[in-house]
Amino acid sequence: MELISMILFSFCSIVILFLFPCLFKLFDSVRRTLPLPPGSLGWPYIGETFQLYSQNPNVFFASKVKRYGSIFKTHILGCPCVMISSPEAAKFVLVTRAHLFKPTFPASKEKMLGKQAIFFHQGDYHTKLRKLVLRAFMPEAIKNIVPDIESLAKDSIQSWEGRLITTFQEMKTYTFNVALLSIFGKDEVLYREDLKRCYYILEKGYNSMPINLPGTLFNKSMKARKELAQIVAKILSTRRQMKLDHTDLLASFMGDKEGLTDEQIADNIIGVIFAARDTTASVMTWILKYLGENPSVLQAVTEEQEAIIKSNSGDDEKAPSLSWADTKKMPITSRVIQETLRVASILSFTFREAAEDVEYQGYLIPKGWKVLPLFRNIHHSPEIFPDPEKFDPSRFEVAPKPNTFMPFGNGTHSCPGNELAKIEMLILLHHLTTKYRWSMVGSNSGIQYGPFALPQNGLPIRLTKKL
């Protein structure tokens, strides 16, 4: 009897041993019988990349939503993707179920920025990096560099005076210099030209296919990235030898307690430059366009900024420098920035990657697929923002509903540098509107794409000083 029991036990164990994986596979296959979201993956490998980046993204997104609904699949930059276009879905991915969707970028950007950059991580490492970045970008830290940002703004504007400029290119230079200031402090001027030369080559390959063959954009960009990391290593070495106190982002990264490697520091510095430069420059370009097209709004902003000068100077005709407190007296100008961020929606979407199979609204989002919350669709929804194509800063006199306005993302991975971006825009607008006037040159109705939407030809303008 005992022998029979042992045989039965052994038989059952064997059955369970072999049956359990089958049951698991059956369960997994049941999950995978969930349909993928509707949509098209386009051409092999290329997908629908060119359709997205060669036209108004509103057209691409609107046509997809109209045909497939608020969730659909596509294939861009070498990645199968699921795009979602409702506030509820954005909250699901970025906040309530954020642990299921790790931050990511296309392969080309990951390799160029560096795998240790904050964008590609979550958990303890991301939390540590975010604290280090916020330490350098919190109001207390930014207050200390307001005079230096103002100096950069004034120098930039003076260099534009009396000549035809391409707004976007000049704004890129300004925002690049502010980014370097926030990272390296006043030491940045020693390395500015070398950093600029390498970074300008690197950025050309951000949205290229990751084909590392001689002569390709990706190959040239990766060489520039290697040189950029070498420059950062040189700066790190110099600082360690000098042993001086600094309060910039690099100093935050170099803190002994943090234990970051030189590679991790370099990856994150390159990442911060990437995050701080083109997006802010694009917003500034659109602001000048919208103000130029809306004289009444420009007048309101100008009067607000002139009132600050008057309140600070009294009878003294020479206006004093701006202070942190002054930037908090600019509600109209701040609403202009908010409305520009909404209408222009420089970041049409953000990238996440499903860390496991996820079910959403009856559809399967497979593990490894990119998931893209469409900020642009949400910002241009007539149900959320009536007459969405109209530039109307007054709509921000009332705070927007949660998860409907996300120019800097949402959740734990929202942009930690948004306060710095706002300050550099406010300071530049203060000096532009109070001391200068500008006129747009040529046709100002066109828009160019790739990857950011910009006024045609980067908005050529002519800047003159007010008499």
* Element of type H or E holding 111: helix 107-113
Where are the chain's structural domains? 26-115+346-379, 122-339+409-465
**pLDDT tens digits for range 100-141:** 998 877 677 778 888 888 877 878 888 888 888 888 888 888
Mean of pLDDT values over 21-47: 65
- Which tokens belong to 380? 């241009």
Helix, strand or coil for residue 202? helix
Calpha distance 61→348 (Å, rounded) = 10
Pairing type for strands 436-440 and 358-360 reads unpaired
Q: What percent of the chain has pLDDT over 70?
A: 89
Calpha distance 144→320 (Å, rounded) = 16
Pairing type for strands 79-84 and 370-373 reads parallel
List own/partner pairs for 324-331 with CB under 8 A and 24 or more apart: 324/139, 324/142, 324/143, 324/146, 326/430, 327/146, 327/423, 327/426, 327/427, 329/304, 330/304, 330/305, 330/426, 330/430, 331/304
Residues shown for the chain: 467
CB 334 within 8 A of CB 394: no
Nearest residue to 85 via CA among 99, 76, 74: 74
**pLDDT tens digits for range 274-329:** 888 888 999 999 999 999 999 999 999 999 999 999 988 764 555 568 999 999 99
Tell me the DSSP string of 84-104: E-SHHHHHIIIIITGGGEEE-
Mean of pLDDT values over 4-30: 36
**pLDDT tens digits for range 51-102:** 777 677 778 888 888 888 889 999 987 789 999 989 999 999 999 898 899 8
Integer CA distances (angstroms), 79 to 42, 209, 428, in order: 11, 11, 38
CB atoms within 10 A of CB 22: 9
Beta bridge partners of 232: none
Confidence class for position 214, pLDDT limits 50, 70, 90: confident
Helix, strand or coil for residue 324? helix
Handedness of CA 379, 381, 386, 388 (dihedral sign): positive
CB 74 within 8 A of CB 84: no
More confident residue, 261 or 42: 261
The conformation of residue 361, written as its DSSP 8-state character, comes to: T
Mean of pLDDT values over 338-346: 93
Q: Per-residue pLDDT for 5 more than 60?
A: no
Handedness of CA 239, 244, 245, 247 (dihedral sign): negative
Q: Per-residue pLDDT for 44 more than 80?
A: no
CB atoms within 10 A of CB 231: 17
Calpha distance 188→183 (Å, rounded) = 8
The conformation of residue 429, written as its DSSP 8-state character, comes to: H
What residue spans of 345-388 are helical by DSSP H?
375-379
How much is the pTM? 0.84
Residue 415, annotated as binding a ligand: yes
Query: What's the chain's average pLDDT?
Result: 84
Highest mean pLDDT among 7-16, 51-60, 347-356: 347-356
Q: Quickly name the fold that domain 26-115+346-379 has.
A: 3.30.43
Rg value, the chain, Cα? 25
Least confident of 87-96, 253-262, 285-294, 419-428: 253-262
CATH architecture for segment(s) 122-339+409-465: Orthogonal Bundle (1.10)
Calpha distance 269→118 (Å, rounded) = 10
